[in-house]
Chain A
Amino acid sequence: MIGMRYLPDVVTLEYDETKCNGCQMCIIVCPHAVFTIENKRAKMVDRDACMECGACAKNCPEEALSVRAGVGCANAIIIGAIRNTEPTCGCEDNSSCC
């Protein structure tokens, strides 16, 4: 996605290589190709492409990954701030948000 990179160095994604068993689950679920496999372990190759969807952390059987998962949606953050809750998108109605 040329010209479509979001802000650098902001995401909360953390990876503890020592816990990895090489199952490749994170590589499969990540929609932005943040990981590849190298020497039978996952390698984080494009951290800034992460959108904090949480799929990798949720599917890592060794809990080697952590991320504050959430919707990268300004509208959700505004609604969350107004209602004093977590950022929540108006997805009750499948609106285009998130």
Chain B
Amino acid sequence: MNMESKKPDWIIGEIKSNIGEIPVVDTNLSLSDRLGGWKVGWGFGRNNYRVDPGLYAVGNPTEESPVFVSANYKLSFDRLRENLGGLDGWIMVIDTKGINVWCAAGKGTFGTDEIVTRLGYTRLAEVVSHRRLIVPQLGAPGIAAHEVKDRSGFRVIYGPVRAADISDYIKAGNKATPQMRKVRFNTWDRFVLVPNDLMASFKYALIAAAVLFIISGLGRDIFSVERMINNGTVLASLITIGYIFGTALPPILLPLLPGKSFSLKGVWVGLLLFFVIGWYSNNFITLFSNKLSLYAWLLLLPAISSFVTMNFTGSSTYTSLSGVLKEMKVAVPIQAGAALIGLILLIVGIFI
């Protein structure tokens, strides 16, 4: 633990152990914890949202109390401690470079080596008399339980997928129901990803809007500022609105969109956007009123939306690498082709 840094406000005391004082953490999240969680949900400051690795206490633990292992991404840590209210236990925070359990396990930083090393640093074997670690199940891709046992003597017990199930899991005598072992991906799970997805590529949407704003001024008479302002404003707003809906709709509508591959699901959203935007703007925007541009958008919107939705595979909890590779082999050339033809039509449409 880094004792030099200012003591965080979620440390509410200290408890004596065989190796000295261990900080006790609050199981209630403060307003600043919640604001911090909300901020990273929108993609701000995710790199620096960490907790010092080391040993912490919850409640009034003894040598017999359970040990929970956490990543040092503060959001992971907060989720854990807020679900340990009323329990006595220890939390061993391992150094995952501030990355959440699932991502860190995939990279191996939430891994066997780090657990074994951290056991040494924290001298956990002197603090507790038992030899059990409760590790979040989503950390399993990085950890070989039998290796941890061989190298440290500690037995890894996999806890539930969601921290919210921990107290039921403990009450049942460290037993998880099949439901606790499964990752979900319900509407709410997908919905909470939307803010970050929106922020992730917002700058590209703004660039696209700016480019289209300027292009709107082009015409057979080369350029007209008046036309740029008249058409460009509407078009730029439409693109921005299109971006917001194009990003938010696929996650929310996912199970309803026909097809198994994400790129195909995205096509439907693109077509929907085309008809909605096209319908409303048909009359007053030259970029839509001309036949060629209309076809251009009919290709461009589904192509872009297909690509955006395909990238949502990364946020989903059920796509495999082999599956994504397979769909990309088909989808990427089609997306690129459609986007290219669309762009050519768009440019040609402007000048005839």
Interface residues of chain A, those whose CB is within 8 Å of chain B, are: 1-8, 10-12, 25, 28-33, 49-55, 58-59, 61, 68-77, 87, 89, 91-98
Contacts and interface: CB of A to CB of B under 8 A. Distances in A.
Contacts of B97: 92
A59 B324 contact: no
B322 A31 contact: no
Interface in B300-344: 310-311, 313-328
A76 B314 contact: yes
A31 B182 contact: yes
Interface in B40-59: 40, 43, 46-47, 49
Interface string B131-152: 0000001101111111000000
28 contacts: A4-B254, A5-B318, A6-B260, A7-B326, A11-B323, A31-B137, A31-B183, A51-B317, A51-B319, A53-B140, A53-B141, A54-B141, A58-B141, A59-B140, A69-B321, A70-B321, A71-B321, A72-B323, A72-B324, A74-B324, A74-B328, A75-B314, A89-B106, A89-B314, A94-B99, A94-B103, A95-B46, A96-B200
Nearest to B135: A29
Contact of B106 (A33, A53, A92): A53
B322 A1 contact: no
Nearest to A27: B181
Contacts of B95: none
A2 B178 CA distance: 17
B313 A11 contact: no
B158 interface: yes
B196 A6 contact: no
B140 A96 contact: no
Nearest to B71: A94
Given A31-B138, A73-B319, A4 B313 contact: no
Contact of B321 (A4, A68, A95): A68
Given A69-B106, A70-B320, A74-B311, 12 more contacts: A6-B320, A28-B181, A32-B182, A51-B319, A69-B321, A72-B320, A72-B323, A73-B321, A74-B314, A89-B103, A91-B99, A91-B103
B73 interface: yes
Contacts of A75: 311, 314
A24 B229 CA distance: 66
> What DSSP secondary structure best describes chain A's contact surface?
loop
Contact of B262 (A69, A70, A74, A95): A74
Interface of B: 40, 43, 46-47, 49, 73, 75, 97-100, 102-107, 137-138, 140-146, 158, 161, 176, 178, 181-185, 193, 196-197, 200, 254-256, 260-262, 310-311, 313-328
A91 B106 contact: yes
Contacts of A59: 140, 143-146
Contact of A31 (B40, B181, B315, B328): B181
B322 A11 contact: yes
A89 B182 CA distance: 23
A95 B196 contact: yes
Contacts of A11: 320, 322-323
Nearest to A30: B181
B145 to A, nearest CB: 5
A29 B140 contact: yes
B140 A94 contact: no
A11 B323 CA distance: 7
A52 B321 contact: yes
Given A29-B158, A33-B181, A72-B323, A77 B255 contact: no
B132 to A, nearest CB: 14
A28 B314 contact: no
Given A28-B158, A73-B324, A98-B103, A6 B319 contact: yes
Contacts of A96: 193, 196-197, 200, 314-315
Contacts of B46: 93-95
A57 to B, nearest CB: 9
Contact of A6 (B47, B49, B184, B323): B323
Contact of B161 (A10, A31, A52): A31
